[in-house]
């Protein structure tokens, strides 16, 4: 099924329309993260829609533990109805969260882990992960993968060469498992829909390419994953501790080799600068907790760099957060930095909400602007100028 219609390519940057069974998504797109069925910071889905969000991400691991995918399916049909969001939902596979748990046992088939809530032991594998995502009614599902760390501990003082070799084999095993689990994920996914449903009405399944920062392993993973006919392809295992330069190197190498007609998703990235650099290399989709998390900690994004709202310099500042911003906080309510500084420093919940709305709007605005610049072929010139201003 051809789910991505490319409208314009400027350099390597792409503007297109991604079709899911819930409607059209203009790309490049940023997907805010609704971890446990809500955007952190107290922002409602109605407000999310008003600030331009086209698709949100739900976390399989969290929703499986609480309230449970089966509870949602049995009583409400899907996550959309449960949380009252009618646009598309992408669910992760739960792999990333499960692999970051300390107390776990990885086997060839899957992962045994203890819930972070009550310590109860669970097992997650490819089939189970896909089934949870199907129960949640996701429009885009992700295969179950192993996300290896970018660095490993060195308690015995190995030489840097030996340490690198040890990491290489760890990442190689993760690549092999990811390919095996991708096949199992796809089998289970396809079995669920066997001839019952047309491709337009069924959800989509994306494959994930792993391989850390090792060129050889990235290429191996890309070859094996793209050989399977997924609806889209994601780059996983980035933004896990490597430098931005290392990440861009992986993108430089991978993007030209990824299928042109399929959506490309860079998982868990990143800062506004990261998004611009990745779009310029040909990425279409992103998700990240950063704009909402930073808002809750008082770091605000503007078109002229970051603001730390707790700073005393804003105590009597009558200006809005960002003159160029069209969000409810800046453009409609015209709330001053002084008021937001006050709410933030006294710890009012409203500060978190307003600052989250502003940051999420900024990310949507950034994507809309990139898309417009690609469509008019001005992306490259715009990129150099705006990155200079943003990195203040
Ligand atoms: Zn704003």
Active site includes 145?
A: no
Q: In what order do the strands lie in the sheet with 140-142?
A: 29-31, 285-287, 264-266, 232-235, 204-209, 140-142, 88-91, 55-58, 33-34
Instruction: Tell me how far the alpha carbon of residue 358 lies from the centroid of ligand 1, in angstroms.
Output: 4
Q: What backbone torsions phi and psi does residue 287 show, to the nearest 5 degrees?
A: -145, 150
What pTM did the predictor assign?
0.98
Instruction: Tell me how far the alpha carbon of residue 12 lies from the centroid of ligand 1, in angstroms.
Output: 30
pLDDT tens sequence across 349-391 = 999 999 999 999 999 999 999 999 999 999 999 999 999 999 8
For residues 192-211, give the mean pLDDT. Answer: 88
Mean pLDDT is lowest, of 57-61, 83-87, 101-105, 367-371, for 101-105
State what percent of residues in the chain have pLDDT above 70: 99
Residues 37, 68 contacting (CB under 8 angstroms): no
Going by pLDDT thresholds of 50, 70 and 90, the confidence category of residue 197 is: confident
| C-alpha–C-alpha distance, residues 281 and 248, integer Å | 8
- Which residues, 6+ apart, have CB-to-CB distance to 378 below 8 Å? 10
Exposure b/e, 66-77, CB count within 10 A at least 16 = b: eeebeebbeeee
Instruction: Tell me how far the alpha carbon of residue 238 lies from the centroid of ligand 1, in angstroms.
Output: 29
pLDDT tens sequence across 254-269 = 999 999 999 999 999 9
For residues 220-227, give the mean pLDDT. Answer: 98
For residue 182, the Cα-to-chain-centroid distance in whole angstroms is: 19
| C-alpha–C-alpha distance, residues 65 and 81, integer Å | 19
Q: Is the pLDDT of residue 1 over 80?
A: no
Domains and CATH numbers, the chain: 4-288 (3.20.20.105), 289-392 (no CATH)
Q: In what order do the strands lie in the sheet with 4-10?
A: 4-10, 13-20, 23-27
Task: Write down the pLDDT at residue 100.
Answer: 87
Task: Write down the pLDDT at residue 150.
Answer: 84
- Set 69, 92, 139, 145: catalytic member: 92
Instruction: Tell me how far the alpha carbon of residue 332 lies from the centroid of ligand 1, in angstroms.
Output: 9
- Which residues, 6+ apart, have CB-to-CB distance to 40 below 8 Å? 289, 292, 293, 296, 356
- List the beta strands (DSSP E) in the chain: 4-10, 13-20, 23-27, 29-31, 33-34, 55-58, 88-91, 104-106, 110-114, 121-125, 140-142, 204-209, 232-235, 264-266, 285-287, 299-302, 305-308
Instruction: Tell me how far the alpha carbon of residue 64 lies from the centroid of ligand 1, in angstroms.
Output: 34
pLDDT tens sequence across 298-349 = 999 999 999 999 999 999 999 999 999 999 999 999 999 999 999 999 999 9
CB atoms within 10 A of CB 366: 21
Instruction: Tell me how far the alpha carbon of residue 51 lies from the centroid of ligand 1, in angstroms.
Output: 10
Active site includes 92?
A: yes
Q: What is the dihedral of CA 34, 36, 37, 41, to 10 degrees?
A: -60
Q: Is the pLDDT of residue 193 over 90?
A: no
Q: Which of 277, 286, 350 is nearest to 54 (CA)?
A: 286
Residues 14, 255 contacting (CB under 8 angstroms): no
| C-alpha–C-alpha distance, residues 137 and 200, integer Å | 15
Q: Is the pLDDT of residue 131 over 90?
A: yes
Q: Hey, which residues does 221 pair with through a beta bridge?
A: none
Going by pLDDT thresholds of 50, 70 and 90, the confidence category of residue 53 is: very high
| C-alpha–C-alpha distance, residues 95 and 93, integer Å | 5
| C-alpha–C-alpha distance, residues 272 and 383, integer Å | 11
- Set 125, 145, 284, 287: catalytic member: 287
């Amino acid at each position: 099924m051809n789910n991505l219609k490319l409208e314009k390519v400027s350099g390597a940057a792409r503007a297109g329309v991604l079709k899911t069974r819930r409607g059209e998504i203009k790309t490049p797109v940023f997907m805010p993260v609704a971890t446990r069925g809500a955007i952190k910071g107290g922002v409602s889905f109605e407000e999310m829609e008003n600030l331009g969000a086209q698709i949100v991400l739900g976390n399989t691991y969290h929703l499986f533990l609480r309230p449970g995918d089966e509870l949602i399916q049995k009583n409400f049909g899907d996550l959309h109805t449960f949380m009252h969001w009618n646009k598309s939902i992408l669910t992760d596979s739960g792999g990333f969260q499960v692999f970051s748990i300390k107390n776990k046992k990885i086997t060839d088939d899957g992962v045994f882990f203890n819930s972070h809530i009550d310590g109860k032991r669970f097992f997650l594998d490819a089939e189970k992960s896909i089934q949870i995502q199907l129960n949640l009614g996701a429009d885009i599902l992700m295969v179950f993968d192993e996300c290896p760390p970018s660095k490993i501990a060195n308690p015995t003082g190995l030489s840097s060469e030996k340490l690198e070799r040890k990491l290489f084999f760890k990442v190689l095993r993760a690549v092999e498992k990811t390919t095996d689990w991708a096949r199992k994920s796809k089998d289970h996914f396809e079995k669920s829909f066997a001839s019952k449903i047309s491709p337009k009405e069924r959800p989509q399944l994306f494959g994930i390419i792993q391989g850390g920062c090792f060129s050889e392993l990235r290429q191996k993973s890309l070859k094996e994953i793209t050989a399977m006919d997924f609806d889209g392809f994601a780059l996983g295992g980035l933004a896990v501790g490597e430098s931005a330069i290392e990440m861009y190197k992986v993108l430089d190498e991978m993007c030209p080799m990824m299928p042109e007609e399929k959506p490309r998703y860079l998982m868990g990235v990143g800062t506004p600068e990261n998004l611009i650099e990745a779009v310029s290399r040909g990425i279409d989709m992103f998700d990240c907790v950063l704009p909402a998390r930073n808002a809750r900690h008082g770091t605000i994004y503007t078109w002229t760099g970051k603001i730390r709202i707790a700073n005393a310099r804003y105590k009597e500042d009558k200006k809005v957060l960002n003159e160029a911003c069209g969000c409810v906080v800046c453009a409609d309510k015209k709330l001053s930095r002084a008021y937001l500084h006050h709410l933030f420093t006294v710890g009012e919940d409203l500060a978190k909400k307003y600052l989250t709305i502003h940051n999420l709007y900024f990310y949507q605005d950034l994507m809309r602007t990139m898309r417009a610049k690609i469509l008019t072929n001005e992306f490259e010139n715009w990129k150099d100028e705006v990155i200079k201003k943003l990195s203040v």
